Amino acid sequence: MTHIDTRIRIHFDSRLAIGPGRIELLEGVQRTGSLSQAARGMKMSYRRAWLLMQSLNDSLASPASVAAKGGRRGGGATVTPLGRDLIRAYRSFETRVAHESRRRFRPFAPALRKRGSHR
């Protein structure tokens, strides 16, 4: 059976795009309490993760995550209520769209060429 996958990116004009990468990063911070651990889990550099989170937070009236300064015990990061709401809304919408896209596009699967066949 053909696997049908959908990737969603929500654009707020040119000010912000919320997609699978930012959501996964927020989820990683929520799970680990650390931006660096979340980045490592995604095989992403800390700098890239920091830039993504900073641009997300800068685009919002209140941040999606907050970082604690390092110290004897090190720093950390937490996802704010707004960040949790973003995760929940995105994942819920993603599930609904994935279901609908499979329903609408599964009839086209038999029209695909077999792997390796060329005309």
pLDDT digits (tens, 9 = 90+) for 20-64: 999 999 999 999 999 999 999 999 999 999 999 999 999 999 999
Map out the domains of the chain as residue ranges.
10-67+74-108
Does the structural domain 10-67+74-108 have CATH classification 1.10.10.10?
yes
Q: What backbone phi and psi angles, to 5 degrees, belong to 10?
A: -100, 125
Residues 6+ away with beta carbon under 8 Å from 22 = 52, 53, 56
How does residue 115 score in pLDDT terms, banded at 50, 70 and 90?
confident
Write down the residue that tokens 């990116």 correspond to: 9
pLDDT (mean) for 83-95: 98
